[in-house]
């Protein structure tokens, strides 16, 4: 059951103690795409094909910060998209699974490849197709606009919506819980 957040309290430890503890152990961040990395809208062109996706630049930078401290990112999505593939390439995300019906099986493959356990990963999903890959995750995350049923199983519900900084919120939580945030911030300010 997620803990309600207080927008006036900026200390994630006091807002979400269970999420904070779980985030301190994360070695892999697994993301759905539509509704997580994007706002969930799908634009279909006159040719009947998906024509556009919008990604949040801060989400991408958060992913790069995780990679900088040795935390990998994986994408597991039910849809095929050249735009997603291009964004993953740009961000250096090596583990990309698209057109996946069984997301739990895809997650299992990534975990095996990286020699990790499900409890070593954070999984962020927004709707029912994400349940199975979220089931055994060490940290379950849902963006603010996610489906109510997914919010009910999440350890952490972001204040921001998918495609609008929700992933960055999770990246910051992980970095803070692992005592890496201040170090990276100091480097950026130097």
Q: Is residue 44 part of a domain?
A: yes
| Virtual torsion, Cα 125, 157, 135, 115, nearest 10 deg | 80
Residue 3 in any domain: the answer is: no
Count: domains in the chain = 1
The CATH number assigned to the domain holding 26 equals 3.40.50.1000
Q: Are 134 and 120 contacting, i.e. CB atoms less than 8 angstroms apart?
A: no
Closest CA to 139 of 173, 176, 112, 103: 173
Find the domain containing 76 and state its range. Answer: 16-189
Phi, psi of 65 (to 5 degrees): -65, -40
pLDDT in tens, 41-98: 877 878 877 677 889 999 999 999 999 999 999 999 999 889 899 999 999 999 999 9
- Is 83 part of any domain? yes
- Helices 166-177 and 57-68: crossing angle in degrees, nearest 10, is 20
What would the pLDDT profile of 2-27 be if each residue is shown by its tens digit? 444 434 344 444 456 789 999 999 99
Contacts of residue 183, Cβ cutoff 8 Å, sequence gap at least 6 = none
Q: Report yes or no on 2 lying in a domain.
A: no
Alpha helices in 11-102 (DSSP H): 12-15, 17-23, 57-68, 82-91
Tell me the two tokens of residue 135: 């089931």
């Amino acid at each position: 059951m997620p803990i309600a957040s207080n927008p006036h309290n900026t200390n994630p430890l006091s807002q979400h103690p269970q999420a904070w503890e779980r985030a301190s152990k994360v070695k892999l961040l697994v993301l759905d795409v539509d509704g997580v990395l994007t706002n969930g809208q799908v634009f279909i062109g006159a040719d009947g094909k998906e024509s556009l996706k919008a990604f949040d630049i801060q989400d991408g930078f958060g992913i790069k910060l995780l990679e900088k401290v040795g935390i990998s990112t994986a994408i597991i999505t039910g849809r095929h998209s050249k735009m997603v593939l291009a964004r993953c390439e740009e961000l250096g995300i090596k583990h990309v699974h698209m057109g996946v019906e069984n997301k739990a099986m895809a997650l299992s493959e990534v975990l095996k490849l990286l020699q990790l356990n499900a409890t070593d990963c954070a999984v962020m999903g927004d709707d029912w197709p994400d349940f199975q890959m979220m089931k055994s995750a060490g940290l379950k995350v849902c963006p603010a606009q996610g489906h109510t049923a997914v919010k009910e199983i999440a350890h952490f519900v972001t204040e921001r919506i998918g495609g609008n900084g929700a992933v960055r919120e999770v990246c910051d939580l992980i970095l803070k819980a692992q005592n890496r945030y201040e170090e990276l911030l100091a480097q950026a300010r130097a």
